[in-house]
Every structure is written in structure tokens, then in C-alpha cells.
Copies of this chain bind each other. A is one copy, B any other.
Amino acid sequence: MTQRRITPVILSGGSGTRLWPLSVPDRPKQLLALAGEQTMLQATAARVADRARFAAPVIVGSERHAAQIEEQIAAAGLSCGTLILEPAARNTAPAIALAALAADPGDLLLVMPSDHLIRRPEPFLDAVFAASQWAAEDWLFTFGIRPDRPETGFGYIQRGEQIGSGVFQAAAFVEKPALARAEAYVASGSYDWNAGIFLFRAGAYLAQLGRFEPRILGAASAAMGKARRDGRLLYPAAEEFAASPSRSIDHAVMEKASRIAVTPVDIGWSDVGSWDALFEIGTAGGEHASGSGQVVAIDAENCLLRADGITLAAVGVQDLVIIATQEAVLVIPRGQTQRVREAVEMLEKRRP
């Protein structure tokens, strides 16, 4: 049979604050250039830009960011297919359902977060194409990242029976574990990080979703049935979509379905989930001062310095993360950058 092109589905609904003050609700992580010239969204779309092998990507995002998404895709010389604008945030299972409902049931969908880094795209693409034969046979296929530390911020996938070359049936999906369990997973050698990248037939996903989460499928179907289209923009009906439970794909489908496959990949992946993670990425590239503003570093050792639209001078400091924008400045030691949440919460509390 002729291999269908794969349709990338890029999930751009995130609005986290872990990279505050650079990421803010109007300018979330995926719309920022964190590692290099391209924004995370641009880099994600560029990774699947070979139109001989991929259809134009479907992007699922928030109406709030529609203009920025379109501008960024155009500015990078890329194209996109439908831009599905979620009327409300309902986590990944409903978001992916919208994209699957917009596709033909036989279409192969490559679901990807828009805000992760993949430094080695070639082995990633090789793994995707190798996986497409499994997906064509109605496996829900995932890509596991070999853990190098007992990270408690990620989900884990336990490899089960080997069913092909480098391909395993997934024995279990585990949500973010406590540290002791994470350490045991890493020590066992049979768990991989769940990077949130999936390959499956649209129809296969919808079938499993309907089996385990019929209310999600029902809400997404109703919202798409009344959707309004404006060029490439697709607006699912708000009231219908809002009726969906809010669930991740892991929780809604992956933890429950049986025909799940996982292949471990070594692709230079990072979720860029904290300023510490960005420091580690910078170490690889040797670059710790960035941004559109001026950075003056004098005897600043092992610091991550970033200034956008503002001047930053760091003198005689060690092991600090300093992020400066025209709105706000963060100064926090390396190794503590998850505490940015405390600062964001305090600012939100103070808001009148």
C-alpha cells in the first residue's frame, strides 16, 4: 500500500509560568526563542517541514495567541494547515480529539508539544517513520526518552514485551512520581520519560477515546459539528467544548488502552521546563548570555543571563539565573529555579 503522508499535530495550548518573567500569559514558552533564533513553535514546525513526508501541520492553540502563531509560522517561511482555536483549555485529550476529528480517520497523526527541544531531529524523524507501520496497524505509538536523572516533573513509561526492533509494548504509564519511585524507575533501566509525542491513526485514537472517555469524545464531536471556519482558522463551538472533562491524553487513553507501543529514542530532547534546564542546554552550546538586550557580564561565573529589550549588568556573581524583560526581573540561584512559581504566585496575590 502507498504510505500516507503523516499529519503533524502541534499542541500550542500551554500557558505555563515556569519561565517567568520571559513567559507570561500573552507570550507563553512555545512563542519564545529560548534556544537559538527560532521560537519553540517555529522549531517544532520546521522539524516536520518536509512536505514530501509530512502534510502541513495542524496547530491546536488558544484564540489569544492565534495572531502570534500565524505570524511566527509565516515569518519562519513555514506553512500550516488548519489552526484549531480551543475555546477553553481542557488539557491534551480533548485538544487532540479536535485535531483527530478534523482529519480523515485513516490519517496518521504525529502529535507533538510545541514547546520542547529536540536537538537531534534526524533520529527523531527516523523513529517516526519506522513507527508509522505500527500506527497503521492501529497501535498508539509513543516515543520514550531514556532518563538521565530521577526527574519528578515528568511521566514515565514502563517498557513491556519487545514486539519489534527497538519497539516494546508499553506495560504502564505513570504520572509524575515521587522521588523514591523515580529513583527506582531510573535504576531499573526499564522506564523511559514520556515526552508527550505520539503517532497514531486519527480513527484509532478516537476509538480508544470513545471507549474510555466518551464524554470527551462527545464534547469534542459536538464542538466540531458546530465549528466556524474562517480561512485556515477553525473555531470549535465554545459551549459544547466547555462541557468536556479536562484530561491529559496519558490519563484519558494511554494509561488504559492495551495496544500501546513505545520506542526509546535518543534525540537530544528537553522540555525546557525551567531556567535550570535552559542553563543545561546552554552549557552544551557554551552560551549563557542571550536575549535582544545588552548583557554585560563581569566576573559572572556559571550564570544564566538573559535580557530582552533592556540592559543587564551582572558583576562578581556566581551561579545565578538573572532574567530581565521590560516588565520584570527575576534573580534566583541555579538549582532553585522551580521556585519562580512562588514569585509568580505572590505577584498574582498582590494584583488588585
Question: Are the CB atoms of B327 and A314 closer together than 8 Å?
Answer: no
Question: Are the CB atoms of B315 and A347 closer together than 8 Å?
Answer: no
Question: Are the CB atoms of B316 and A317 closer together than 8 Å?
Answer: no
Chain B residue with the shortest CB-CB distance to A337: B315
Q: How large is the interface on A (under 10, 10 to 19, 20 to 34, 35 or more residues)?
A: 20 to 34
- Knowing A324-B324, A326-B326, say if A314 contacts B296 (CB, 8 Å): no
Residues of the B chain whose Cβ atoms lie less than 8 Å from the Cβ of A326:
310, 326
Contact with B along A174-190 (1 / 0, CB 8 A): 00000000000000000
Most buried by B among A21, A313, A339: A313
**Oligomer: number of copies:** 2
Residues of the B chain whose Cβ atoms lie less than 8 Å from the Cβ of A328:
310-313
Chain B residue with the shortest CB-CB distance to A311: B328
A292 interface hit (Cβ, 8 Å) = no
Find residues 309-350 in chain A having any chain B CB closer than 8 Å to their own CB. Answer: 310-317, 320, 322, 324, 326-333, 336, 339-340, 342-343, 346-347, 350
Most buried by B among A294, A315, A343: A315
A298 interface hit (Cβ, 8 Å) = yes
Question: Are the CB atoms of A331 and B320 closer together than 8 Å?
Answer: yes
Residues of the B chain whose Cβ atoms lie less than 8 Å from the Cβ of A310:
326-329
CB distance from A295 to the nearest CB of B (A): 10
Residues of the B chain whose Cβ atoms lie less than 8 Å from the Cβ of A307:
329
Question: Are the CB atoms of A332 and B311 closer together than 8 Å?
Answer: no
Task: Name A residues whose Cβ lies closer than 8 Å to a Cβ of B.
Answer: 21, 294, 296, 298, 307, 310-317, 320, 322, 324, 326-333, 336, 339-340, 342-343, 346-347, 350
Contacts A/B (CB < 8 Å), 28 sampled: A21-B311, A21-B313, A294-B347, A298-B346, A310-B327, A310-B328, A311-B327, A311-B328, A312-B331, A313-B328, A313-B329, A313-B331, A313-B332, A315-B331, A315-B340, A315-B342, A315-B343, A316-B332, A316-B336, A317-B320, A317-B332, A320-B331, A322-B329, A322-B331, A324-B324, A324-B329, A329-B329, A331-B331
